Each structure stands twice: as C-alpha cells, then as structure tokens.
Amino acid sequence: MVLSTMTVIMCTMTGHLYDDCGTLYDDHGTLYYECGHLSTIQSNTLSPKWADEEWIVRNVSHNAKLTVFVYDKNDNSLKDDFIGQFEIGDLSNYKSLPEGHRILDSNGGDRGRFHLTIESVESPESSKKLPRYTFDGPCRYTRHSSPIAGYLTMLNKNNVYSTWKINLRRISVYFRPHDRQPWNRQYRIAQTIFDESPRSVAKQNAIKLAHKMLYGRTIKNNEMGRLNNVNDLWTLIFSDEKTKRMRSCVGYFTDFASKHALHANCCESVRYAGQFHPRPRFGWDRCDDEWELVFDNWSGTYAPSLDLLKNLKDLLEFNFPGLNVVAYDFKNPLVRESMDQLKIAQEKFKTNSSSNYN
C-alpha cells in the first residue's frame, strides 16, 4: 500500500518544549528516504500549542515511520538542548492517543506528552508517479533576523538584518534528488573552498559561521508564515526593502568567497543556483502595472545546466499560479540589459527620495 497524502498536524505538548522537528523516513534495504519539517518556536511556555503546523507529504510508503525530535531553544548556546523524541509506525492506521505520545530523553526518562493528528488516504495513480516523500505544502516562508549582521552592515536604524527562506512544493518533481549540481571544479574561487586543503577547511568554517549568523533561528527574531498565492509572494519580496538589503549584506560577507556557497552553507552540490531580480513587466515607466521575476543560471560556484532554467520556471509557476517568470541563460545579453535598467531605476528612486526628504 502507498499513501497518497499524509497530513501531519502538530497540536499541543505538555512538558518542556521550545522547538521541535519531525522526520519521516523508511528503509528499503540499502535505499534510504527521508524528509523533515521544522516547527515554529514556541517560547516562554512549558505547554506550547501550534495553530498552523500542517505538513503534507505525498507518496508515503506503508512501512514509513515518523520520528519527532524535541529541543529546548537556546539563543545563548551554539546548539539547542535535546529534550527527547518519540516514533510512530503504521502511519496508515494511526489513531491519536488521548494521553499523547511520551517524549523520552536519551536515558529513557519521561519528558512530557506530545499530541498530534495524522490523516492519510489511499494513493491514486497520479500520486504514485511522484517521487517518494514529495513535500506538497503548505508553502511557507521563514524570516531570520540577525542583530550581528545588522550591526556590521548598518542598513537600518534598528541594526537588524533579515534573510528569508521559502519552502516550495514538489521541488523533487522538477529537480530530481539524484540530479544535483556539483561545485564547479573549473572555478578558482570554488576550488579554494572545496579542494580539501587546510585553507579550504578554514574558509568553509568561516562561511558556515556567516551562514549561521544570517539564517540562524532565534527566540527574539523569529517569524514564519504561509504563502497562499502570488500576491503573498510579491508582498514578501517588497516588504522592508529587503531585496536591497540582501545584496548589500551578502556582498559584505562574500568579498572573500562565494555568495552561493554562503547561502548553501558550503554544500558540495545543490539542486539549482542562480540569481533573480524583479522588474515591471512593461517597463520601468509603468511600475504600477504587472511585475515579473527574472531568473538566470549565473553561479560560478555551482554552474547549473542551462537545461534547468525551464524546470525552475515550471516549479515557480506551479507554486505561484499567475506569477510572471522570465528565465535567461546568464550569457544572454538581455540579462545585463535588464540589470542595467534596474540600477538606473534604483538611482532615480534614490534621487527622488533625497529630493522629497530635503
């Protein structure tokens, strides 16, 4: 039996909890499948409740197991404190336990109770064609605010710099898990990061520290939400002038290395890497009309195949119906032309803003 949909809804917990992570997996001989979900942080409570933690997974094997790990979020430590875990098997016949699941620590001690709901249905043929454990929503974003990065870049009066992550649906459909893009061995900067020399090890450690600074989740600066449609995406893109701040801050940390290695936390291979920028669909003199996102495959570190541009476009349009997406090879002169027009528009905006202020 194969489950078409398994929906996990985390509800409440009694005991000691600030943060938790669920992992769904099964083991077929030597082949191992796994996917996971990281919850929001519930701070300053011993009995947290989650109102929006639905997790939908397609094409789940009948012998899959769900493991929930519970951590105490600690902003003053390099690692969060492990509280305990529990495991659920036979997911297709799961029934919620009135008393909840026992959370056991490393020594088998009882650390509390966890309540959740699992809903599953039989797989139609369409879902059976999907890759095993295909994440199918909801599409969420997380905002990571770093006071340290904000202090170093001085981009706003509050000295807080933010980065965003977006969890897209069905990535494995458009970018197959085993067809990853390895680091570019012809690129000198990538060689200095990944060639396993003492210098590269030191550089990786520095990049990973910067990654943690930019993307680390904290109790004070923690935001998470759903992206239900293309309008939610545009609101996220233009909120707090973050596109401008992202370019400035990434430049600060990557003068000595690769910005894509920074975003990827020094992974030796990725599904895709490139750049994007927004622009008015009908020209910069019509900013009140439709907008579009322009993507390319420019990444010296990972050098993704030109053929993947269509996959990227299809993935984004699937996740956000109605989104206008333009995809160019980075060698296409239209990319440079579009970027030049963007810079001109930015300078005009700065000039007009200064004039209005004065």
Region label for 90, one of left (φ > 0), alpha (ψ between -120 and 50) or beta (otherwise): left
Q: What is the pLDDT of residues 293-329, one digit of tens each?
A: 999 999 999 999 999 999 999 999 999 999 999 999 9
CATH number at residue 79: 2.60.40.150
- Residue 301 shares a structural domain with residue 166: yes
pTM score:
0.83
Q: For 294-333, what is the HEC assignment?
A: EEECCCCCCCCCCCHHHHHHHHHHHHCCCCCEEEECCCCH
Number of domains, the chain: 2
Domain-terminating residue out of 110, 135, 160:
135
Same domain, yes or no, for 128 and 147?
Answer: no
Angle between helices 230-238 and 242-253 (to 10 degrees): 60
Are 266 and 244 members of one domain? yes
Is the separation of the CB atoms in 189 and 266 below 8 Å? Answer: no
Residue 29 is classified by DSSP as: T
Q: What is the pLDDT of residue 96?
A: 87
User: For residue 270, what pLDDT is reported?
Assistant: 94
Same domain, 174 and 277: yes
67 and 102, same domain (yes or no): yes
163 shares a domain with 53 = no
Judge if 223 and 288 occupy the same domain. Answer: yes
Are residues 151 and 131 part of one domain?
Answer: no
Give the end of a domain, one of 117, 135, 153.
135
Question: What single DSSP character describes residue 17?
Answer: -
* Mean pLDDT for all residues in the chain: 81
Percent of the chain whose predicted confidence (pLDDT) is above 70: 79
pLDDT on residue 24: 57
pLDDT under 50: residue ranges of the chain? 1-2, 10, 13-19, 27-32, 241-257, 357
DSSP state of 131: P
φ and ψ at 133, to 5 degrees? 60, 55
- pLDDT at residue 313 in the model: 97
Residues 122 and 179 in one domain: no
Of the candidates 84, 110, 135, which is a domain's last residue?
A: 135
**Cα separations (Å) of 181 from 7, 172, 185, 242, 316?**
31, 14, 11, 28, 19
Domain with 234, as residue range(s), is: 140-357
Q: Do 192 and 87 belong to one domain?
A: no
Whether residue 125 is found in the same domain as residue 179: no
**Could you tell me if 93 and 207 lie in one domain?**
no
